[in-house]
Amino acid sequence: PRELKPEATLVYETGAGGRLEDGHNHFHFARAAEYSLRSADGLTDQGLAAKIGFCLLDSALLGRTPLNTPSLYASPPRILCRHDSDDDVVRMGLSPGWADVYGAATDFQWIDVSETKPGPYKIRAVVDPDDLVFEQDEDNGWGDIDVIVPGYVPEARAVARKPDGLPYTFGLSSQAFQAVLGTREDRDDVEPIPLAPPEYKLIRGPSRGTVDLPTEWVSSPKVVYTPDAGSNAADSFTYAVREAGASFPREPFVATAAIAVDAEKPQPVIAIGGAPQQMIAGSSVDLTSTPVTDDWTASGGSISREGRFVAPAEIPESGEVTITAVSADGALDRRTIRIIRKPRPEPAPAPPVEVRGATRGEPLVPAVAPNPFVPPTPIAILPRTAALGRVSAVRIGRFVAVSVNAGQPGRLAISLRKGTRKIKGCIIDVRAGAAHTCRIRRPRDERSALKVVVSMRKSSGGTITRTLALKAPPRARASAHRH
């Protein structure tokens, strides 16, 4: 094995040469990690975040790490990495068994999915993406977790009307994707977050008739197509779908509704579904067709026989790429997609709700947004004490997250109670200055006020107990808006 030499010299340049690259006023190991959104099979990038830096120090014990595990790098209350520090030397790093946990609301701890197609994905975290750190194993510095971008995707429709010239009624369709509370390591606690109903609107009208779908959002998927007088030719129009009231995706995804004429010799049709109106250069999207085809072509970038389109890395001269799908009997449908540059990752979005931990302080990722129909009760906070430090609690859907930043080492017992009845709880071994969170699932029918009891048995002896009252959650509203 190679000898590890983790020594380095850090020079902080002030004045014109100084940079606050990560938006903080202290030293960072720049470009220490990178997050990306990948396809559900993990093969292609769907979105890329900025490479972010950290001031690395031992701030929390990992999982079931023994309490006596040595910390080689300073923990709070000493403030590391400050540009105005009197220190001549800054030691930065992580000891075995320790972690440095950054909240989801920290600048650049996010991936912009404003233009992303709803559906299943993986979030991939890569440490040391530029290979700047000398490691014993250079191949294990990444991990994936399954996530769902919520919303609706329009589905291609291929229908056939009679050759009688009369209006023809049919329905548009979409596929729903719901985000969940919980993770793959916690499948018993997985709970879908409800979506508002879908809305539809017309993007491009038919060329040989009319359709009563307006260009403004409406809730009904039922449409009436009326052919032009004497027309017995196939026709089509393009429509979009979104979650009612939602602002994302910024450019809703579209699908084709193809209308054939059911004569003695039916005219072939094909329709493309789930197509974006614009894409970031280098990103990818999975397209579908009705009927299914493996005959896809693209005027730029590349597209597989299964319909996975990878946009060109550079914006083409025309600014657009045309996708063509051809059916086995020769029908074709085309979709034009604008190619745009990746937006600069600033300013940071509003902080999401962060949920960490199950038992013993092990982090739970990713952070999840609250149920849009039932917003979280405002955080309740206990006065700081020497032993327990800061204690806070918040409701998130059917969960209560209790966070403790202990001031002394010991063992925490956290329980959620209704009156004197204990519902559930956690047992956590803590060190001084380490942050831990207990995430507790409430019963499905539990709508009354609860209380959280936090009890700490100190390593030095003695027990301290505190109670935190939680108000009853608000009633669900009739409508919702996702931010």
Tens of pLDDT, residues 3-37: 445 555 555 444 434 444 555 556 777 788 888 88
Of 183-197, 251-265, 276-290, the one with minimum mean pLDDT is 183-197
Tell me what percent of the residues of the chain surpass a pLDDT of 90. 33
pLDDT > 90? residue 292:
yes
Residues 6+ apart with CB under 8 A from 298: 309, 321, 322, 323, 324
Model pLDDT, residue 351 = 40
Look at 316 and 360; give whichever has higher pLDDT. 316
Q: Is the pLDDT score of 271 beyond 60?
A: yes
Q: Is the pLDDT of residue 198 over 50?
A: yes
Per residue in 404-420, pLDDT (tens digit) is: 777 778 888 888 888 77
pLDDT, tens digit, 9 for 90 and up, residues 244-269:
988 889 889 999 999 999 877 778 99
Angstrom CA distances, 142 to 12, 128, 318, 392, stand at 29, 9, 37, 31
pLDDT band at 189 (very low <50, low <70, confident <90, very high): low
Q: What is the pLDDT of residue 312?
A: 95
In whole angstroms, what is the distance from residue 281 CA to residue 315 CA? 6
Does the 380-470 domain belong in CATH 2.60.40.2550?
yes
Say if residues 287 and 187 touch (Cβ distance below 8 Å).
no
95, amino acid identity = S
Cα gap 143→450, rounded to integer Å: 37
pTM: 0.65
On the question of pLDDT at 456 being above 50, the answer is yes
Residues 105, 98: contact at Cβ < 8 Å?
no
Strand pairing category for 191-192 and 180-181: antiparallel
| 361 pLDDT tier (thresholds 50, 70, 90) | very low
Domains of the chain by residue range: 380-470
pLDDT tens-digit series, residues 95-124: 888 877 776 666 677 788 888 999 999 988
**Secondary structure of 169-224 in HEC code, one letter for each residue:** EEECEEEEECCEECCHHHHHHCEECCCCCEEEEEEECCCCEEECCCCCCECCCEEE
The predicted structure's pLDDT at residue 93: 78
Burial 426-450 (b: 16+ CB within 10 A, else e): bebbbbbbbbbbbbbbbeeeeeeeb
What is the pLDDT at residue 323?
A: 98
Check residue 230 and give left, alpha or beta (phi > 0: left; psi -120 to 50: alpha): left
At 469 the pLDDT is 78
Averaged pLDDT for residues 85-95: 71
Q: What is the mean predicted confidence (pLDDT) over 181-189?
A: 50
Q: Give SS3 for 16.
A: helix
Q: Which value, to the nearest 10 degrees, does the dihedral of the CA atoms of residues 310, 349, 119, 313 take?
A: 0
What Cα–Cα distance (Å) separates residue 291 from each residue in 221, 222, 273, 433? 21, 21, 10, 60
| 96/51: higher pLDDT | 96
**Would you state the structure tokens that stand for residue 31, as one six-digit string?**
């470009």
Mean pLDDT score, 75-104: 67
Name the residue with higher pLDDT: 409 or 206. Answer: 206
pLDDT band for 357, please (50, 70, 90 cuts): very low
Residue 423 pLDDT greater than 70, yes or no: yes
Query: What gap in Å lies between CA 92 and CA 6, rounded to an integer?
Result: 9
Query: pLDDT per residue over 134-146, tens digit each?
Result: 777 778 888 888 8
Strand order in the sheet with 168-171: 168-171, 222-227, 209-211
Asked if omega into 473 is within 30° of 0 (cis), the reply is no
Task: Report which of residues 428 and 480 the model is more confident about.
Answer: 428
Residue 368: the pLDDT is 33
What pLDDT shows up at residue 160?
Answer: 93
- Give the chain's mean pLDDT: 77
